[in-house]
Structure 1
């Protein structure tokens, strides 16, 4: 099996470091913490944006810098779906795809049930528990399964799929009055224009090859796409995703976050390599601005989050995988045993990055917001079930 790049573990450390600093800060001095992350840098007029917005460190990270991280994992998902030997391409990827669908459905159903039974849990915030956490799940999965285990590649595929599903659900959950679909022409047209520009010389010459390998047209297209997504009323974190399918890329997939991709010279992989350090910084800043957990903020949203990610998501994932294997006779991914799936479900239940974004978008501020964040933090202890499950199901 291919080797996963070590930067995924560095991403996990950066995210947790930022969140730990933020948690200490917000519990020791909440006033200074919130003053810092909500400090008004400038006011952005509503000329392009659907409504005026204050530019704060929090908004700069969530609406701007996080687009880099989500483009990074979006690139991996796109290659997994479309390239030969991709982790989600072909019949052998059917069970991971079903696992994504089952985890999504289970978390939403559990949230809606909790919303019907518990006060202060808005049913319209159903998108919050869908997302997983790619970097934390992989870092812990590596400890549970050991380096190089085939289950790690399936875990990456499932968590990336859940992250992207959570993002799209968050965009769909925004109020309809701020959605301006005509602006979506810009993120659709900019990548197509960039592709037409770099392929303007069809001849197989060194000049034509140099045109295709240029990165600056894609940087311009990414900026225009991000502006269009924001102006359309969607989360800015989605802004770079429309550019990925248009970019020239390698003809073969070496696997999710494969170390071998560092030696490829196509624009998509070169851009991903350039983003490694900025993404690590982004994840630290994201943990610092969004990961502060108020330890005394327990409430009914805490219970709803835990019901969705400790029960709904893993049970939905396992039910979908069981049904696919039992009734559709779908093959196991290479190297996996049926007993590996409960461990994968416990790890995929880890929910942090995209759910934190969704909480900022969909939960009312104050105590419900803080209670939901506490639920995500407690939910990380789902990983504690992975090791005993692994020991119980090991051959």
Structure 2
């Protein structure tokens, strides 16, 4: 099993640093903090005539930079599904997919039940905001998982697969559930056209080029980058989350012949177009995660409310129970088994770690909940959910110490 690249930990520390800075600033001088994150980067009023066509620093990070992060995650999921020796090839994908689906369903059900018992606010339906808890947090769960499991443990790879499945799946469900696509459906033609064009003019000769010219054409980056921009533009204009905008082009970009594992260090030596793009994104993504933490991760310490408890209940109970149900009950009935060297206790700790959620839930917050104190209270709950990582590590050490005494 190849070691996971250290860049994931860089992303995690950048996110934490940005969030800590934002939280300190927000609680000391909230007015100046909001002046910065709501600073107007771009206004399209003059072009569209709409008063709401204003884009702040916060919007810029979510709309323009976070799609790069989702592309980076989706690359690993695509390689796990598609490439030889991929971690999700054939029946190996059953546990992460069914566990991820179970986690999303469990979180949504617990959210609705808790908000039915203790309404977040009078006049707001209990189903409001259920999409908030679908996503997970790849970089922060990995950081805690790295402290819990060995560096080359298969549990780390399953943990990464599960969180990526929930992040991308949760973002897609969020977009379909909260956006009315009908008025702007035609914009989705643009990603289709971009994919068709890059296939015809660059990608279709990637595996069996008829000449050296065709081989060189398939390895150039600019056609794929241009198609990615066009795809992002179409997805964003359609009303779907812009973070999904680069994904339609991903399967068309030439890649390595076989997978080395999730975020494997060995991939740093590869020079196919997909890995070259991923290598070029690493340090910009460190900056992106720091900016995302600063613009979206500021925690108001006075914002605790019933919705904070609903977030914790959905993440701490609904998501782990759903993951275990999907992976240990549904998957075996469909003929799927745990990967070699992965025990049920490992899956239990993976489920606990997936009870943390910050990055993707925060990204979907604006479309999930009404603005104001509800969002601040939900963000407070998301921050508290990270305590599950500490609990999992503490529990793991207790159990390890108990086994040694025996």
- What range is the shorter-chain TM-score in? over 0.9
Q: Give 1:206's aligned residue.
A: 212
Confirm or deny that 1:372 pairs with 2:378: yes
Deviations 1:185-229 (A, max 9, x none): 101210220121114777543322211110001111111111101
Q: Give 1:118's aligned residue.
A: 118
Confirm or deny that 1:244 pairs with 2:250: yes
> What residue ranges of structure 1 are gaps of 5+ in the alignment?
none
SS of structure 2 residue aligned to 1:41: strand
The alpha-carbon distance between structure 1 residues 131 and 51, as it changes in their structure 2 partners (threshold 3 A), is: farther
The alpha-carbon distance between structure 1 residues 387 and 293, as it changes in their structure 2 partners (threshold 3 A), is: same
Asked if the contact 2:254–2:272 (Cα under 8 Å) also holds between the matched residues in 1, the reply is yes
TM-score normalised according to structure 1 size: 0.95
Task: State how 1:230-379 maps to structure 2 within 5 Å.
Answer: 230-324=236-330, 327-328=333-334, 330-379=336-385
SS of structure 2 residue aligned to 1:251: coil
Asked if the contact 2:190–2:230 (Cα under 8 Å) also holds between the matched residues in 1, the reply is yes
Asked if the contact 1:340–1:393 (Cα under 8 Å) also holds between the matched residues in 2, the reply is no
Q: Give 1:131's aligned residue.
A: 135
Deviations 1:105-139 (A, max 9, x none): 10111111122222236513211111111111111
SS of structure 2 residue aligned to 1:339: helix
Query: How many matched pairs?
Result: 395
Alpha-carbon distance in structure 2 between the residues aligned to 1:48 and 1:207: 44
**Greater CA deviation, 88-97 or 372-381?**
88-97
- State the 1:85 CA deviation: 1.8
- State the 1:88 CA deviation: 1.8
The alpha-carbon distance between structure 1 residues 392 and 46, as it changes in their structure 2 partners (threshold 3 A), is: farther
Asked if the contact 2:38–2:58 (Cα under 8 Å) also holds between the matched residues in 1, the reply is yes
Alpha-carbon distance in structure 1 between the residues aligned to 2:232 and 2:51: 16
Deviations 1:10-64 (A, max 9, x none): 0101111101101101111111111111112331249689984211100000111
Q: Give 1:56's aligned residue.
A: 56
Alpha-carbon distance in structure 1 between the residues aligned to 2:41 and 2:120: 32
Task: State how 1:37-48 maps to structure 2 within 5 Å.
Answer: 37-45=37-45
The alpha-carbon distance between structure 1 residues 46 and 333, as it changes in their structure 2 partners (threshold 3 A), is: farther
> What residue ranges of structure 2 are gaps of 5+ in the alignment?
none
Alpha-carbon distance in structure 1 between the residues aligned to 2:234 and 2:332: 45
Q: Give 2:157's aligned residue.
A: 153
The alpha-carbon distance between structure 1 residues 86 and 48, as it changes in their structure 2 partners (threshold 3 A), is: farther
- State the 1:3 CA deviation: 1.2
Q: Give 2:66's aligned residue.
A: 66
- State the 1:177 CA deviation: 6.8
Q: Give 1:144's aligned residue.
A: 148
Asked if the contact 1:342–1:389 (Cα under 8 Å) also holds between the matched residues in 2, the reply is no
Alpha-carbon distance in structure 1 between the residues aligned to 2:251 and 2:128: 31
- State the 1:182 CA deviation: 1.1
**Greater CA deviation, 142-151 or 62-71?**
142-151
- Tell me which of 171, 175, 187 is aligned to 1:171: 175
Asked if the contact 1:50–1:233 (Cα under 8 Å) also holds between the matched residues in 2, the reply is no
**Greater CA deviation, 263-272 or 369-378?**
263-272
Alpha-carbon distance in structure 1 between the residues aligned to 2:337 and 2:40: 54
Alpha-carbon distance in structure 2 between the residues aligned to 1:33 and 1:263: 42
Alpha-carbon distance in structure 1 between the residues aligned to 2:203 and 2:65: 29
